[in-house]
Chain A
Amino acid sequence: MGRKERFESWLNGERDPYLGKVEMKPQKERLLPRTLLKKYKKDHEEAVAQVYDMTNNRQIKYFEKAYRILGVLGCCLFITIMILTVSYLPPIGVADKPVNNEVPQRYIEDGLQETGAVNIVTGMILDYRAFDTFGESNVLFVATITVLILLRALPGHGGGKGKEEADTAKEEARQEANDRIYEPKNDVILQRVAFFLVPMIIIFGIYVILNGHLSPGGGFSGGAIIGSGLILYLNAFGFSKTERLFTEKTYKGVCFCALTFYCFAKSYSFFTGANHLESGIPLGTPGAILSSGLILPLNICVGLVVACTMYTFYVMFRKGGF
């Protein structure tokens, strides 16, 4: 048998590779009389109850006190050491210190020509360090997925007939009631205010995203603004309205498309850049809205991911589902 077949059979769990090669003896099962087992179990439970009796166990009390005192002392010591270190750092606001080395110099002096972005920070995070930002977007995506897994309300927990279905209905009614207790519903003042504010907030968010390479802001801040606008809309008009526009499917689709586009666009530009090829993406005139090559589409991608993430976090924490 070749190495490959052996690996495959091992992978498929067909054959124990040590069977017949290593001496094996059948193990004898350790049997204890039932009374002894019962006694052991009882002893164990008594010991646990005694050890974790928080009101009477002296050692726990001493430990608590010692922990608090040591914690305070440790924090004070930490703060003292850090302040001592700070007192040796170069003073704030002085240009002549090791932080201001040739890297920011390059970004400031050549950033506009190389990336086309007027906003140097955007040019830095979406061009020179674009993979870092891609990782961040993925961190947001993974965090949202984990929150979805952790907080998803499972309809019909046990899955069954008759009584359990009634229980499920009751549980859903209870959750709906909870939603009603803690969040406003059909609040006229909120609805009137949201009627005027939500479009403006969302338009402002879009403005911040689209001008990310020209002015302060960008995908992250604009996305957060749009997300908060969506949350206000949800609070004012309830889930029946927002579900027309934003469901779990929308979230998945938008995030997947945005992240994939980001990945491919940036891979392309890094590939061409590393091989000294012309990328063929025009940089445009600095200051125009359609300029600076890939930065604008990447900003839009990041903004979409962040807006969806903010809204999804809120929905998951409020109701456990869309």
Chain B
Amino acid sequence: MGANLIANYGETVAMILFGIGFFNLLLQRNLIKKIIGLNIMDTAVYLFLALKGYIAGRSAPIVADGVQEVEAYINPIPSGLVLTGIVVSVSVSALMLSLTIRLYRRYHTLDLDQITVRLKKEGL
């Protein structure tokens, strides 16, 4: 066990959130709940990245009063990466939800087990 567990409480929370999301993704039978689990995992990653870029006592990376020293601003790269991640996660959620709607129209259930059984019975 390292020494920084208490200091890194935010990152610990991010990891626990990621675990909860993964848990939902594995163990929920309902497809919508699985997608919610995946979104929780996304959120955990954003939290982790935002915390990686944070530096105590510094301001957001927008040049104010012409100050251009590294000591004045936080790390801008994780912010940009979170922006990327949010956009991709929106697209992925929309894609998965539309696939779920198609599955529901065909099988009239959101239960993945029942869908699998029906697929097998139809010989697919």
Contact = CB atoms under 8 A, between A and B. Distances in A.
Contact of A87 (B2, B71, B94): B2
A139 B87 CA distance: 8
A90 B76 CA distance: 18
A150 B98 contact: yes
A178 B100 CA distance: 19
Nearest to A90: B4
A124 B11 contact: no
Given A143-B95, A150-B101, A313-B94, A88 B63 contact: no
Chain B binding surface SS class: helix
B61 A119 contact: yes
A93 B54 contact: yes
Nearest to A133: B84
Contacts of A49: 121
A132 B84 contact: yes
Interface residues of B, number: 62
Interface string A62-95: 0000001001101110110011101111111111
Interface in A190-233: 215-216, 220
Given A54-B113, A104-B75, A151-B98, A89 B4 contact: yes
B77 interface: yes
Contacts of B7: 91-92
A88 B77 contact: no
A146 B4 contact: no
A48 interface: yes
Contact of A71 (B1, B27, B90, B117): B27
Contacts, number: 172
Contacts of B102: 150-151
Interface string B47-85: 000011111111011110000111111011111100110
Contacts of A51: 120
Contact of A120 (B15, B52, B61): B61
Nearest to A214: B62
Interface residues of A, number: 63
Interface in B96-122: 97-99, 101-102, 113, 117, 120-121
Contacts of B79: 121
A99 B8 contact: no
Given A78-B19, A99-B53, A316-B98, A87 B5 contact: yes
A220 B62 contact: no
Interface string A26-61: 000000000000000000000011011010000000
B70 A105 contact: yes
Given A87-B5, A92-B10, A109 B98 contact: no
Interface of B: 1-5, 7-8, 10-12, 15-16, 18-19, 22-23, 26-27, 51-58, 60-63, 68-73, 75-80, 83-84, 86-88, 90-92, 94-95, 97-99, 101-102, 113, 117, 120-121, 123
For the complex of A and B, 9 pairs with smallest distance between CB atoms:
A93-B56, A143-B91, A87-B2, A88-B2, A79-B19, A91-B7, A87-B5, A120-B61, A82-B15
30 contacts: A48-B120, A48-B121, A52-B121, A54-B117, A78-B19, A86-B5, A87-B8, A91-B7, A91-B8, A92-B56, A93-B54, A95-B55, A100-B70, A105-B70, A121-B76, A121-B80, A121-B83, A132-B84, A136-B87, A136-B88, A139-B87, A140-B90, A143-B94, A144-B94, A146-B95, A150-B98, A150-B101, A151-B101, A151-B102, A215-B62
